[in-house]
Structure 1
Amino acid sequence: MITTTDLTKVYRTRDREVTALDGVDLHVEEGEVFGVVGRSGAGKSSLIRCVNLLERPTSGTVTVDGQDLTALAARSGSGNRAGKELRAARARIGMVFQHFNLLSSRTVLGNVELPLEILGHSGQQRTRKARELLDLVGLADRAGSYPGQLSGGQKQRVGIARALAGDPKVLLSDEATSALDPETTRSVLRLLRDLKEQLGLTVLLITHEMDVVKAVCDSAALMRNGRVTESGTVAELLATPGSELAGELFPVGGEPSAPGRTVVDVTFHGETATEPVISKLSRTYNVDISILGAAMDTVAGKQVGRMRIELPGGFEENVVPIGFLREQGLTVDVAAVADGAAGDAGAPPGERSAEAVAAPAGQAAARAEGGAE
């Protein structure tokens, strides 16, 4: 539904250039909620404003629902003024802003009617459509109120209703919940998820809150310095060894308690989330396991968790237990090996993890059987 290819945005001032987007490739499937996360300055807001061509990309292409918006912008002529074709394409893309952007002089109903006025709908059509949308977002009884009389969550619901006025196929959300308290954030996210299901929307949202990704997103991408460093479905990311985004979603901490110890991060997802795998490992190999940290939550209706455990001995001594965990369907990363441990303790943990991933499953199974005997 949304595809960006080699998207670049450079802001130029008199004495310098700032690259906000540096060759961004992104693909959002129809009907999914896709979250883009990253720190301030990562390029998230520039990306979402380029998707609907509120910002003209310096280079690259943006395609929404099979239509190349950058080609439409090129035909609009010079400057930032949009041509008729581009304005028509934008009408099918709703936008929800962080700070609501409501007109204080208009009622709630009047704010929702505004885009319908711009689209040329008659007064009766505008009013009927706006009331339907307010009912959809749970604010039918506040149609005559003014923005100053609403709570933050209510203002954002008005913003969502306004964004839906043009019957969009795509809804863009730029930090829509960052100004809201946690309870209101949850209610707005539930609303977005429900609207996605009811109206068949594709939602692209920008956020710096990992809880938003866990609560509502089907897929996600991590941005850093204007580039997408990771992307995929949330389930794929959680099952990817070394995924930075998975670590951000479920942060766990803990250092080796003593020399000669190996620290491992284990991700439970799917059916493994309810299995007593760690206790089974301890019984099978008679291993004393310390739990240094854990995090558990529900993602897309499924229980997912991460746990940091400590195993006695160096990495080489723990190849069989680590292989056992992987055979149970868990994602396993070697986080650290304490100084003084045996084997390749001096090598970076990532290299050891990659080596273990590359080891044939059959070999690990054979060694596990030998250990059990």
Structure 2
Amino acid sequence: MRKTFLHIKIIFCSLVVFSSLAQSASFDCSKASSDVEKKICNTPSLSKLDEQLSEVFKPLKKQRTFQVLESEWLENVRNTCESVECLEDAYNEQIGFLSPLPLPGASASNEVKILPADKIYAQSSRPWKTVELAGLPNGKDVVERFLISAEVISGILHVVAFEGHYDVPNSIYRGSLYEYIDRHPIVQPITYTIAKDIGFQGAFNLGNNEEGERYAGIMGGTFYYREKIARNQLRGMAYKVGSGTQPQETSLLLQQWSNTFENAKSGLLFQGDEVFGELKAYYPNTPGYETIAPVDRPEVGWNIFSPIWSKSRPVLYFKNGDETIWRANVVDKTLTKIVSASDQLVIKNPTPVDLNGREAVVYLEDYILKIAVAPE
């Protein structure tokens, strides 16, 4: 009887130990098959890091951007490690990347100091993590595409894009408006068609380098735009973002500065279309100006398009030609290439957002909607 009791006790203890090991990571260790999974289960420090990563990732699971980035990290980083040290470094870096960040306090324009004349912006190339969000319908008669607005609402990214052509007789862009919602799983390439085959007025010079005043955008969770219904008649329209309902006519119209001046931390001087030149900035109550992008760097010269300021940071984004996006921080005086087009496709409308407190830029690459997220 005593031997039987002792045997049962040993079995019970073994089950407790096995159960503890099986639950020591964020996954069932009894089903671990790869060498990496077995290392995680058999190393207490890695098991703890795996659990921490699971916790910080949990609130991001419904966002397609972070689902893709997490899958890429698992395949290309974690699962390529061959040592415990490599795995620890990989986990610590990913936990830091997925942890929410507080938004920085926006610097006032009069707090930004001009760069001394004998100094230049520190220039570098640091690619951001990119994710393909969705493809526009890419209709056969489409010749123009614009990213109209991008906003993070209740933690979820919403993007409004236009696809169509310029209607010369009526002096208006004619086409369709679409909304993309960055939810996982994505149900279809574009979540919702806001309006189809309309005369759309989004800005005074929509599509130009300096677009002038903007007449379309998201405000208070509603996308406002103007629709041309006759040669001399426009009406205001409003679509509740994320609702999937029909737009409604409204007497409230949106009108704001162009992206070049909205949220500006300084004034900008740059050359017009098809002209290679430098980008300069000047500040209130400070004589002179500083050169952000010198004319001789990079070697081919600068062809500045679409300057746009971050709402929350002293940071300016712009395209150089059609194939790269650059980031200029006017406080620490750095200039960084963060995005390069694939296969020499055309990049359009870089638009900054804050995703989980982290810098990000939404843009069009041909008819594909993409996002680039700061790695740190």
Q: TM-score, normalised by structure 1?
A: 0.25
TM-score of the superposed pair, with normalisation by structure 2: 0.25
